[in-house]
Amino acid sequence: MGSRRVIWIVLDSFGIGFAKDAVAFGDEGSHTLRAVAKSEFFDVPILQSMGLSSIERAFPEDRATTGGSGAYGRLQEASMGKDTTIGHWEMAGIISEKPLPVFPNGFPQELLDDFARKTGRGVLCNLPYSGTKVIADYGREHEATGKLIVYTSADSVFQIAAHEEVVPIDELYRDCEIARQLLVGDYGVGRVIARPFVGKYPDYERTSNRHDFSLLPPRKTVLNLIMDKGLTVYGIGKINDIFAGSGITKTVRTQNNEDGMDHLLVAMDEVENGLIYVNLVDFDMQYGHRNDVDGYAAALTAFDRRLPGLVEKMKADDMLVITADHGCDPSTESTDHSREDVPVILYGKKIASGVNIGTRKTFADLGATVGAYLHVETKDIDGQSFQQIIEKME
């Protein structure tokens, strides 16, 4: 039995149609893929040839195909949420039956008072807000007072924006760690996020020094099981942040999607066996949340252009997985995530071509399949493996 690798790429927010329970989340009608497919900048022939356009209800009927060079299907989210943390946890084997807390009216004053006392800085905003609009509206006051801009969204997040010349990066990260220690129990949001920015009003720009401080997963994920077997788990981009370092043996941060793909190719030269797990956040952060349909489409096209180089570096026992963690339809009025099903494409010399795995009832089936492919026992995590459906018989 030779060494095996899984290259697992998450296209952050690339949903393929509103979920069956989308109405409960206010997302009926959302469809990220169809929204961006209307753009003149959308051109993803490699993804389509692998099976993307054969996934049921993904493409408009006049653009749908059948078959593909990989296996393909759609995943439904079973967890009560539509954010990055819950989505990644579920695909790694933890179904979250209870949603992480959200704060549509801002955070309690007693919590903010405690936070201000421990950081030595006051607080501005404390409302749900767009990340770019909040610095436009509060940036000047922040620069004048040194107070931290605290805001949230429809997701379970506590976000802290600060100008890098007012609050040095190391201090901002310490402030986030203080917030993370306070945000437990009923206040236990999924992520505390550092949102540094630079520039002068009104031309503020957020920087790539964003950093997420996540809750520790409540139990073991497939990442822990892979690591416990002595295999490498190489997290690229936000992966280490999302899992609070649990189950990660090596990590590297990234500047953007292109940088993420560059690091992935380097990792493929370094990792002999195990998992290389990549999150490409630009789809969500730069385009989905900013309702930028053309930007989203162009980013998918750029990703598609990188796939031939990736495939060329794959070894005989490698399995490539391409999926997403939620939706973020850039064509709707909302700038928040959308409750959508997500695609899954599996490709490699050991993966049967043209196999439709259908619609799986939980993202967790993917984690179980990844574990099974790496010969890891997955009975202690949620999800059912579909490895036997997709792997060629020896």
Query: Reduced to 3 states, what is the DSSP secondary structure of residue 223?
Result: helix
In a domain, 335, yes or no: yes
pLDDT over 90 (residue 320)? yes
Give the pLDDT confidence of 14-23 residue by residue, as tens digits.
999 999 999 9
Q: For the segment 352-374, what is each residue's pLDDT rounded down to a tens digit?
A: 999 999 999 999 999 999 999 99
Asked if 293 and 368 sit in the same domain, the reply is yes
120 & 164 share domain: yes
| Residue 394: per-residue pLDDT | 60
Percent of the chain with pLDDT over 70: 99
Q: Tell whether 236 and 269 lie within a shared domain.
A: yes
Q: pLDDT value at position 154?
A: 83
pLDDT for 208 beyond 90: no
Query: Across the chain, what does the average pLDDT equal?
Result: 96
- CATH, residue 201: 3.30.70.1250
- Beta pairing partners, 193: 159, 212
∠ Cα 192 193 195 (to 5°) = 150
Q: Is residue 291 part of a domain?
A: yes
Instruction: Let me know whether 92 and 113 are in one domain.
Output: no
Looking at residue 187, the DSSP 8-state letter turns out to be G
Q: Is 224 found in the same domain as 357?
A: yes
Q: Is residue 292 scored above 70 in pLDDT?
A: yes
- Beta bridge mates, 225: none
Q: Is residue 361 part of a domain?
A: yes
Q: Regarding beta strands 148-152 and 123-128, do their DSSP bridges make them parallel or antiparallel, or are they unpaired?
A: parallel
89-118 average pLDDT score? 96
Is the domain of 119 the same as that of 176? yes
289 shares a domain with 332: yes
Pick the residue with more confidence: 260 or 99? 260
What is the pLDDT, as a whole number, of residue 3? 83
**Boundary of a domain, candidates 191, 214, 237:** 214
For residue 358, the SS3 value is strand
The reply to whether 151 falls in a domain is: yes
- Whether residue 247 lies inside any domain: the answer is yes
Reported as a pLDDT band with limits 50, 70 and 90, residue 2 is: low
Collapse the DSSP code of 236 into the 3-class scheme (helix H, G, I; strand E, B; otherwise coil) and give the result. Answer: strand
If asked whether residues 67 and 157 sit together in one domain, one would say no
Count of positions (residues) in the chain: 394
Q: What is the radius of gyration, based on Cα positions, of the chain?
A: 20
* One domain, residues 53 and 81: yes
pTM: 0.89
Supply the pLDDT for residue 392. 85
Tens digit of pLDDT for each residue in 235-284? Answer: 999 999 999 999 999 999 999 999 999 999 999 999 999 999 999 999 99
- Whether 104 is covered by a domain: the verdict is no
Domain end, chosen from 214, 240, 267, is at: 214
> Is the residue at 103 inside a domain?
no
The Cα 209–Cα 243 span in angstroms is: 18
pLDDT digits (tens, 9 = 90+) for 30-39: 999 999 999 9
**What CATH number does the domain containing 272 carry?**
3.40.720.10
Least confident of 1-15, 106-120, 183-197, 246-260: 1-15
Residue 188 pLDDT: 94
Domain edge (last residue) among 160, 183, 214: 214
Q: Are strands 250-252 and 5-11 parallel, antiparallel or unpaired?
A: unpaired
H-helix or E-strand spanning residue 270: helix 257-270
Whether residue 51 sits in one domain with residue 21: yes
> Could you give the number of structural domains in the chain?
2
Query: Residue 304 above 50 pLDDT?
Result: yes
- Do 86 and 145 fall into the same domain? no
Structural domain boundaries enclosing 83 = 5-98+216-390
Per-residue pLDDT band for 155 (boundaries 50, 70, 90) equals confident
Instruction: Say yes or no to pLDDT of 156 above 70.
Output: yes
Number of Cβ within a 10 Å radius of residue 99: 14
Asked whether residue 138 falls in the same domain as residue 284, the answer is: no
Q: Which residues of 64-95 are buried (b: 16+ CB within 10 A; e: fewer)?
A: eeeebebbbbbbbbbbebbbbbbbbbbbbbbb
pLDDT at 176 over 50: yes
Assess if residue 289 is contained within a domain.
yes
Structure token digits, residue 370: 């990844």
Residue 1 has a pLDDT of 46
Q: For the residues of 2-64, what is the DSSP string, one character each? A: ---EEEEEEETT---SB-TTGGGGT-TT--HHHHHHTSTT---HHHHHHTGGGSTTTS-GGG-
